Structure 1
């Protein structure tokens, strides 16, 4: 594969096409498309076209490259190519056009955000409980994405063809804590890879019913859709994904409840909530996996028990997130304190002398 830079990468404006200098990058200019021209070597022959182009470019995700190919934005030796699975031909000159980013469909909405770190590539924030991450049926606005569109504005350089923040992981609506969001396509690609390869640090604080025995351990159990309730996840024997959660008891209040520190080795939907319920220690306030009043509640005073049973959300907080900066390579680590509602739960348990 021959490249300069990324094989004769050029910027196409609405009227003119100007080659980048030898040390240039393919960032593009406002309102302009980016053209990648890549000549395949003998070693590249036989690879899938979308995998080959994504690997050669390095800053555009494979899924985005696939979509561009299917949209007719690719040619081989001047002949249009629309099949992402086509085998690469040695010596062929491929051309991929990445159109200028368009405004995202979600509307920008100004909302207060607790920003822990921000630069041109990413934003790290402390998400409050109750905030949905991405627009979806039933939550078309008032989401984190809407807030980030208002906050970042023109600094968003385009992800997947849209000027939008790149969501590389999610926290449930009623889970609080640290999140990282990409502002550029290269950051989105690199951060997505880090999450997929588990090349990062994630720890959570959870208030659970009962006290696990042993006090520290791990749950290595596959997670998938519940066999009869499609709105829930569960530990399943078939068609589940590998899921591993390590936990340690930070503080216990009699036999009634415990504050756990959970570290994720994988990142499945509702993983901590499912694994703790599977152990017999569902999270306080969990509206999905706490199916009945737990027997452990009898180990608390009536005052404490009533408040914990009335807690309106799962008592789960993403306390720490550590990762390498997707562009600079710098090691970053962020922590967010417990939110007021969880702090008050712990203070109540202490006041009641549990």
Structure 2
């Protein structure tokens, strides 16, 4: 049962426009491995979305400081220096501006995130994010976890530090059940897979490094149940028992069933060498469908469900 709050159950639309955002100051500390590198080279490596020539123009515009001093790009960096890029306001890529509220009380908020809307700032998005849209209505709400930009479904927010701390402590324990729906390539030979593939950062020639299947990675566990099969595809219900980045995408790929349309992972759980798009691009169907947990303040059992998006309904049974 929903407790009345700032939100009413249902869809919330917040209008996107082409106005500039507020800009952002990206702050990093120079590490030992970057000691002695020229600033221009470091910037082009740290932020590879822009060429050295573009960075030179940013430097000429006075956008970059090192230890508070406006930089030219010729500086030789020293470990421990504070580098700040004061990015001017920019027009962000458009994103969906609707979300459905599934639960709301004084301590928690749960919403159904649409595909294409980032949970948190990053990758050129700052204000066109679920966090920004939610905080316009509930300023104290912060997400307990995140979903990838293309992933749909339940995102849980905590409104108080106490609720956030308890949910974080419970997150990868049996007190919280996280169940996803995923459309994967290939017809599964088995009905149930317990996947224990470790996940860690691996190098990539185009994007530096990326999370992927890695023998030296962190222990991870998913259980995937095949719930329907069509020609060349399987719909899985996946339960998560750990919370690694891109876990479902990596785990299903590691058993030979990458998500249909995934631009990043191939059949071994390793990143594709020739990427058809950026890692955050969509094209796949992954949905956080069920979340079952104990309320962090009342211990009441909460069971949430986010309806499957239309793309799933054309591929599998609901």
TM-score by length of 1: 0.55
Distance 1:246 1:196 in 2: 14
Match of 2:68 in 1: none
Flag structure 2 segments of 5+ consecutive residues without an equivalent: 1-95, 269-280
**Native 8 Å contact 1:121 1:182 kept in 2:** yes
Structure label with greater radius of gyration: 1
Select which of 279, 294, 297 maps to 1:327. Answer: 297
SS of the residue aligned with 1:277?
helix
Residue correspondence of structure 1 range 268-279 to structure 2 within 5 A: 268-279=244-255
Change (3 A) 1:235 1:291: closer
In 2, Cα distance between the equivalents of 1:142 and 1:279?
35
- 2:268 matches 1:282: no
Comparing both structures, which one devotes a greater share of its residues to helix? 1
Gaps of 5+ in 1: 1-109, 157-164, 293-310, 348-354
Kept after mapping to 2: 8 A contact 1:179/1:321: no
Question: 2:188 matched to 1:223?
Answer: no
CA distance in 2, matches of 1:247, 1:112: 30
SS of structure 2 residue aligned to 1:282 = coil
Matched with 2:100 is 114
Deviation at 1:213, TM superposition (A): 2.4
In the TM superposition, 1:1-354 aligns within 5 A as 111-153=97-139, 156=140, 165-197=141-173, 199-228=175-204, 230-238=208-216, 240-254=217-231, 256-290=232-266, 312-346=282-316
Cα offset, 1:336, TM superposition: 1.0
Aligned partner of residue 232 in structure 1, secondary structure = strand
Contact 1:232–1:288 at 8 Å: present in 2 too?
Answer: no
State how far apart, in whole Å, the 1-side matches of 2:215 and 2:234 are: 28
TM-score normalised according to structure 2 size: 0.61
Q: Determine the C-alpha separation between the residues in 1 that align with 2:266 and 2:198.
A: 19
Q: Hey, what's the Cα distance between the residues in 2 that align with 1:344 and 1:246?
A: 24
> 1:268/1:312 Cα in 2 relative to 1: closer, same or farther (>3 Å)?
closer
Note the C-alpha offset of 1:248: 0.8
Secondary structure at the residue paired with 1:114?
Answer: strand
Query: Does the 8 A contact of 2:150 with 2:282 survive in 1?
Result: no
Aligned residues: 209
Bigger relative contact order, structure 1 or 2 (CA pairs below 8 A, ≥6 apart) = 2
